[in-house]
Amino acid sequence: MPPSSRNCYSSRLRILLCFAMWYALNVAYNVTNKWALDDVRVYVGSHRLQAGDVKDDADGGGDTTTTTAVANVPSALPLTIGCMQFLVGATYSIALWVSGIRGPVPHAAELSTLVLALPLPPLTSRRRAVGSPRRQTATITPALRGTFRIALYHTLGQLCTILCLSSNSIGFAHVIKAMEPLFSALAALVIFGQMMDVRVYLSLLPVVGGVFLACAGSDEFSWTSFAYGMGSNAFFAMRGVISKVVMDASTSTTPPPTDRRGLGISRDEESEPMMNEDDDVKGGGKSGGENPEPGRGNEEDDAPEGLSPANLFAAVTCVSFVLSVPVALIFEGSILRDICRVHAADGADDGSQRGRGGNREKIIFAYIIASGLFHYLNNEVMYLVLSNVHPITLAVGNTMKRVFIIVTGVLVFATPISLQTAIGSAIAIVGVFVYSLMKQWYGSSGGGCSKGSNGAGVCAKAL
């Protein structure tokens, strides 16, 4: 076999393995995340019921109020779970930076300048006299400001996604989130003034119609969960737009970029239909027409200041954890306080009862840690796929991925689904695929989608 053919087959095999890992990690994240949400809901319900017992006993009022609404707690602590998942991803990112596997840390110089500019008092008067003066002003660069904006939209989008998943099945939540292309198109029109071909907008009609048909035929539909899903779509669409601007600015030799129509180029084709709760910092990388240096198949080596897509996602994850902590404490602090009260009251219980409770807590923490790790690793593999495949191949893979996740959710959790919901879901998913193709063919960015000069990118186009 000629070396070129051998390299081509090797590249195809690697891409197929990446797709398999991508699917597996997506399914693993959604399943473990749903397990965590369901188990935490039961755990919270039992502990808030016990908290009512403890409060009644302390007041001398018996247990007459323990059968109140606390016995039917709708909360699965989704915000707290999302915060802990961010923590897992941030820990993984920091470990990569500290070990030197990935680097440099994005915006390290800007952050150092900001820290030195803080108006902190000197330790001693001698330090004030002989120490080096602190900088009194610091400039927040557009790239740093953009990263924080990405993190804000990413945090809100991910938390809305988990809120949607906490009240819906995996399949139905993914059907709702299939409308993200509509929000991405609106964001491109409003922010960039990007008017696409009318055929691209018409291709969104089956997506919208399919989602509404599925919602109308579902017994689990609620306007609250639907609002969470739509909020997730809107925030992730904004995240994709800001990500594109930040990455364009970081890879451009003449900032700021004059042509921002790249929202529809190769890598962003993935972002609009599919970059939702399980795929983050959408696209955002260099355009498909930019070729890396020979021997470099990953865009991480080329972006200045550590702003490669994967490295940017690591920084965004760390900021998202910081942003999510106060949100979780504000909205779910009372529930966490009830759980702590029960733990304090159970301090004198026998060891066997504490052991059973401890085992349940260990299982819940294992689900949360696993879901957070799967969520982050899913994005690592996603960037590898994005750098090696043609956008049409990516659109096909994304459609199959969403089908795979919905079917797996139905099988694992034995979720009943009506015929109308199944038909509506199928229409919406096919509509997303058609939209991806129409945007490639008729979008404002044209259809140029050449990949890197490495053999993997060239061979992948034939898939």
Nearest to 404 by CA among 12, 14, 29, 15: 29
Band (281; pLDDT cuts 50, 70, 90) = very low
CB atoms within 10 A of CB 444: 17
The angle that helices 78-99 and 3-59 make with each other, rounded to 10 degrees, is 130
For residue 276, CA distances in Å to 198, 209, 241, 280, 400 come to 25, 20, 13, 7, 15
> Which is more confident, 365 or 284?
365
Q: Is the pLDDT of residue 196 over 50?
A: yes
Which pLDDT score, from 0 to 100, does residue 26 have? 92
DSSP-assigned letter for residue 444: T
Helix extents (H) in 117-265: 125-130, 142-167, 170-176, 180-187, 198-202, 205-216, 223-251
Binned at pLDDT 50, 70 and 90, residue 298 comes out as: very low
416 — pLDDT class (breaks 50, 70, 90): confident
CA 100, 106, 111: angle at the middle one, nearest 5? 115
pLDDT tens digits for range 54-107: 455 555 554 444 333 333 445 689 999 999 999 999 999 999 999 988 878 887
State the pLDDT at residue 25. Answer: 94
For residues 109 and 426, give the distance between their C-alpha atoms in angstroms, rounded to a whole number: 49
Q: What distance in Å separates the CA atoms of residue 275 and residue 271, rounded to the nearest whole number?
A: 5
pLDDT band at 155 (very low <50, low <70, confident <90, very high): very high
Give the separation between CA 388 and CA 321, rounded to whole angstroms: 30
Residue whose token pair is 């970029």: 257
CA atoms within 13 A on the CB side of 176: 33
Residue 51 pLDDT exceeds 70 = no
Q: What is the mean pLDDT of residues 225-242?
A: 90
Number of helical H runs and strand E runs in the chain = 16, 0
> Helix, strand, coil % (nearest 5) of the chain?
75, 0, 25
Residue type for position 359: N
Q: Quote the pLDDT of residue 263.
A: 38
pLDDT category at 14 given cuts 50, 70, 90 is confident
Most confident among 146-160, 238-252, 445-459 (mean pLDDT): 146-160
Asked if residue 416 has a cis previous peptide bond (ω within 30° of 0), the answer is: no
**298-321 as b/e, with b when 16 or more CB fall inside 10 Å?**
bbbeebebbbbbbbbbbbbbbbbb
Euclidean distance between CA atoms 81 and 319, whole angstroms: 16
pLDDT digits (tens, 9 = 90+) for 321-343: 999 999 999 999 988 888 888 77
pLDDT band at 288 (very low <50, low <70, confident <90, very high): very low
Confidence band (pLDDT; 50, 70, 90) for 141?
A: confident
Handedness of CA 19, 24, 25, 26 (dihedral sign): positive
Report the range out of 4-13, 105-114, 117-126, 182-191 with the highest average pLDDT. 182-191
Whole-number pLDDT of residue 152 = 95
